[in-house]
Amino acid sequence: MKPIGVLSRILTRTRERVAERRKKRPLDPSALVAQASGHRPFAPALTRAGQANIIGEFKRRSPSRGILREDLDAAQVAQAYEVAGAAALSV
């Protein structure tokens, strides 16, 4: 089997899986913004005086580990970080 044939099959199958997943959960970053309670500038949040300015991170997948938690709800995670005192959120 030629390597290019293997790569071609991997690419084809990956494209099929991505298309299937997009049908189930369309990728729409603007939906995350729409769910947010309000826009707050990032830089000022990191320069608040007198407190630890921690950035919370929302991540369903990792480039090195793959799926971490597929079922996470972005709005719930953002709210939990806010309640816990995170200065900002990295998505």
Domain shared by 79 and 56, yes or no: yes
Domain shared by 19 and 40, yes or no: no
Structural domain count of the chain: 2
Domain shared by 46 and 21, yes or no: no
What pLDDT is stored for residue 64 in this prediction? 86
Domain shared by 46 and 83, yes or no: yes
Domain shared by 22 and 3, yes or no: yes
**Pair type for strands 88-90 and 55-57:** parallel
**pLDDT digits 0-9 by tens, 69-80:** 888 888 888 889
What pLDDT is stored for residue 77 in this prediction? 86
**pLDDT digits 0-9 by tens, 30-59:** 666 656 656 667 788 788 888 888 888 888
Residue 85 DSSP symbol: T
pTM above 0.85, yes or no: no
What pLDDT is stored for residue 16 in this prediction? 93
Domain shared by 23 and 42, yes or no: no
Q: Mean pLDDT over all residues of the chain?
A: 80
pLDDT-derived band at 81 (thresholds 50, 70, 90) equals confident
User: Which residues make beta-bridge pairs with 89?
Assistant: 56
- ∠ CA 28-53-60, nearest 5°, is 30
Query: In which domain, by residue range, is 15 found?
Result: 1-27
Domain shared by 46 and 77, yes or no: yes
Domain shared by 19 and 43, yes or no: no
